[in-house]
Amino acid sequence: MPVADRARNENPIVDRRTVVVWVCLVSSMTLVSALLLALEPMPSGAGQSVAMIGVDRVLVEPAEPFATHVPIDIARWGAILIHHSGQPSGSAATLDAEHRAADLGGLGYHFVIGNGTGSRDGEVEVGARWLAQQPGIHATGDQAAWYNQHAIGICLIGDGDYAAPTEAQRKAVVDLVSDLRRRLNMPAQYVRLHSGIASTTSPGRLFPAGWFRVQLSHVPTQ
User: Which pLDDT belongs to residue 40?
Assistant: 39
Pairwise CA distance, residues 139 & 94, whole Å: 19
65/107 same-domain check: yes
Pairwise CA distance, residues 98 & 168, whole Å: 25
- pLDDT single digits (tens) 191-221: 999 999 999 999 999 999 999 999 998 877 6
26/85 same-domain check: no
- pLDDT single digits (tens) 64-102: 677 899 999 999 999 999 999 999 999 999 999 999 999
Give yes or no for a cis peptide into 203 (omega within 30° of 0): yes
pLDDT at 62 over 60: no
- Percent pLDDT > 90 in the chain is 67
CA-based nearest residue to 190, from 175, 180, 205: 180
Q: Which of 7-11, 80-84, 131-135, 215-219 has the lowest mean pLDDT?
A: 7-11
36/81 same-domain check: no
Sequential DSSP letters for the chain: --HHHHHHHHHHHHHHHHHHHHHHHHHHHHHHHHHHHHHSPPPTTTT-S----SSS-EEE-TT-TT--SS---TTT--EEEEEE-SBSS--HHHHHHHHHHTTSSS---SEEE--SSSS-TT-EEE-HHHHTT-------STTHHHHHHHEEEEEESB-TTTSPPPHHHHHHHHHHHHHHHHHHT--GGGEEEGGGTSSS-TT-TTS-HHHHHHHHHT----
pTM of the predicted structure, to 2 decimals: 0.73
Contacts of residue 33, Cβ cutoff 8 Å, sequence gap at least 6: none
CB contact at 8 A, 111 and 130: yes
CATH number reported for the structural domain that contains residue 102 in this entry: 3.40.80.10
**Is 51 part of any domain?**
no
Domain count, the chain: 2
User: Which pLDDT belongs to residue 178?
Assistant: 95
CA-based nearest residue to 151, from 130, 174, 165, 172: 130
Pairwise CA distance, residues 175 & 159, whole Å: 21
User: Which pLDDT belongs to residue 9?
Assistant: 39
63/31 same-domain check: no
User: Which pLDDT belongs to residue 222?
Assistant: 60
User: Which pLDDT belongs to residue 13?
Assistant: 38
User: Which pLDDT belongs to residue 54?
Assistant: 37
121/192 same-domain check: yes
Sign of CA dihedral 107, 217, 211, 67: positive
Q: Which domain holds residue 135?
A: 58-217
User: Which pLDDT belongs to residue 67?
Assistant: 84
**Is 48 part of any domain?**
no
- Percent pLDDT > 70 in the chain is 70
pLDDT at 146 over 60: yes
**Is 173 part of any domain?**
yes
192/94 same-domain check: yes
**Is 189 part of any domain?**
yes
CB contact at 8 A, 125 and 92: yes
**Is 45 part of any domain?**
no
14/84 same-domain check: no
Pairwise CA distance, residues 96 & 215, whole Å: 30
pLDDT at 114 over 80: yes
User: Which pLDDT belongs to residue 64?
Assistant: 62
